[in-house]
Structure 1
Amino acid sequence: CDGVLRAQGVYGYPIEIQALFFMALRSAMSMLKHDTEGKEFMERISKRLHALSFHMRSYFWLDFQQLNDIYRYKTEEYSHTAVNKFNVIPDSIPEWVFDFMPLRGGYFIGNVSPARMDFRWFALGNCVAILASLATPEQSAAIMDLIEERWEELVGEMPVKICHPAIESHEWRIVTGCDPKNTRWSYHNGGSWPGDFFFFFSFLKLFSFRL
C-alpha cells in the first residue's frame, strides 16, 4: 500500500485498502444481474457496504471536534457503551496533528486498531473515499477544505504528496532500517507515486469544481 511499514491484519487495514474495497463492492453491485442469484449477492453486498461505511465514517474520520473528543477519551472502557471503543490513549496523539488540523476541514486517518491510530494524511485513501462515495457529502467537502487550508504542506511544489508527514529522524531509523529509499519525501516516504496518477487526475477534476 505504501512504502512505510503498516502491517495489515495486525494493526487493522489502511484507509487505502478500505476505500478501494468499498469501491470494488459498489462496482460489483452495479454489474450483478437482477436474477435470483444476483439479488442474493446484492443483499450481502448491501449489508457489507452499510457496515463498512458506518465503520469508516465513525472511526476513521478526524476533524477538529473529533480530535478534541479523542484528546478527552477515558481509557480502559470495555462495555458496549464505551466511547473509546479502541482504547486509544490520548497521549498517543502526535503534536503535529493539533497544528495541522484546521477549524474547517477533516480527513480519514491512515489506520485504526486497538490502542493505536495512524493520524497521518494519505492522499490516495482520501481521494478514493470521495470518488467512491465512501465519504459523505459533508466529509468530502471537509477533505477538500483541508487540502485548501493546508495546500503548502500537502501539495507545495509537488503534484500531491502521498503521505503527510513523512517519517524522519529516530522513527525513520527504526521503521525503515535507515533505508535510503525511504528518506524524507522520497519516492516511498511521502513522495509521489506514478501509480497514483489516475486517482490524482480524478482528484484534480474534483478540485476544479471547487475553483
Structure 2
Amino acid sequence: MLGIYGYPIEIQALFFMALRSALSMLKQDDAEGKECVERIVKRLHALSYHMRSYFWLDFQQLNDIYRYKTEEYSHTAVNKFNVIPDSIPDWVFEFMPTRGGYFIGNVSPARMDFRWFALGNCVAILSSLATPEQSMAIMDLIEARWDELVGEMPLKISYPAIESHEWRIVTGCDPKNTRWSYHNGGSWPGSSFLLIIQTS
C-alpha cells in the first residue's frame, strides 16, 4: 500500500536513519560536501515534519481524526489527506490506550493504514525520528498492549493481522502472508532484540 511519498513507516524510518548516518560521514570542508550536507539537512527536516505530523497517532489525534470534515481542499485544511472518519477500523478504539501512541503503517489520500508495525516504530526511536515524547509514548503503548503485541512469543511484526479476503487483496495472495504469518502479524525475533535495546 503506497503512501503520500510511496513508502510505509519501516521504509521512512530506515531512510531517515540512512540520511542521519550519511550526514555524520560527509566531509564538510569543500563546496560539494557543504551542498550535500545542506540538501540532507533540508530533507531530514521535511521528512521528520511529515512523519511526526501525519503518521503519528495517539488518543488525542485519534479523536481529532474521528471528527475530521471531509472534502477540504486548501492550505488551511485540517484534514490534509481528506481521510474519511468512517475508514477508522473499530479495533483502533480498543487498542489505543489513553497514554501512549505509535506511528501508523501508512498515509494515503482518503485512507490511513492504522496497523501497528513494530520494526518501523522501533527504528523511529533508534534513529530519533520519533521525538523523546513520542518515543516514550511508543514504549507506553507496548507496555499497555503487551498481551496483544508480545504475549508468550517474540514481538509481533504487525498488529492486527489482516483477515479474510482482505489479506489476498493487500498482500497479493502470497501464502506466507496469511493470518499471523511472516508479514501479516507474524513474530520476528529480531524485533524483540530492538525492543530490548530500547528498554535498556
Question: Shared fold by TM > 0.5?
Answer: yes
Match of 1:146 among 141, 157, 160: 141
Gapped runs of 5+ residues in structure 2? none
Map of 2:196 onto structure 1: 204
Instruction: Tell me if 1:96 matches 2:88.
Output: no
* C-alpha contact (below 8 Å) 1:11/1:114 kept by paired residues: no
Post-superposition offset of 1:203: 2.2
* C-alpha contact (below 8 Å) 1:19/1:125 kept by paired residues: yes
Instruction: Tell me if 1:41 matches 2:33.
Output: no
Whole-Å Cα distance in 2 between the matches of residues 78 and 90 of structure 1? Answer: 16
One-letter amino acid of the counterpart of residue 17, structure 1:
I
Give the structure-1-normalised TM-score: 0.89
Map of 1:73 onto structure 2: 68
SS at match of 1:54: helix
Map of 1:188 onto structure 2: 183
One-letter amino acid of the counterpart of residue 21, structure 1:
F
One-letter amino acid of the counterpart of residue 60, structure 2:
Q
Instruction: Tell me if 1:156 matches 2:148.
Output: no
Render the CA deviation track for 1:10-56: whole Å, top value 9, x for unaligned.
88310001000000000000000121221111111101000100000
* C-alpha contact (below 8 Å) 2:3/2:108 kept by paired residues: no
Gapped runs of 5+ residues in structure 1? 1-5
Instruction: Tell me if 1:29 matches 2:35.
Output: no
Post-superposition offset of 1:102: 0.2
* C-alpha contact (below 8 Å) 2:155/2:188 kept by paired residues: no
**Deviation larger for 137-146 or 167-176:** 167-176
Map of 1:109 onto structure 2: 104
Whole-Å Cα distance in 1 between the matches of residues 123 and 161 of structure 2? Answer: 21
* C-alpha contact (below 8 Å) 1:22/1:52 kept by paired residues: yes
The 1:206–1:189 alpha-carbon spacing in structure 2 relative to 1, beyond 3 Å, is same
One-letter amino acid of the counterpart of residue 28, structure 1:
A
One-letter amino acid of the counterpart of residue 114, structure 1:
P
Post-superposition offset of 1:132: 0.2
One-letter amino acid of the counterpart of residue 195, structure 2:
F
Whole-Å Cα distance in 1 between the matches of residues 52 and 119 of structure 2? Answer: 17
Instruction: Spell out structure 1 runs of 4+ moving beyond 6 A.
Output: none
Percent identity between matched residues is 85
One-letter amino acid of the counterpart of residue 53, structure 1:
S
Post-superposition offset of 1:175: 3.5
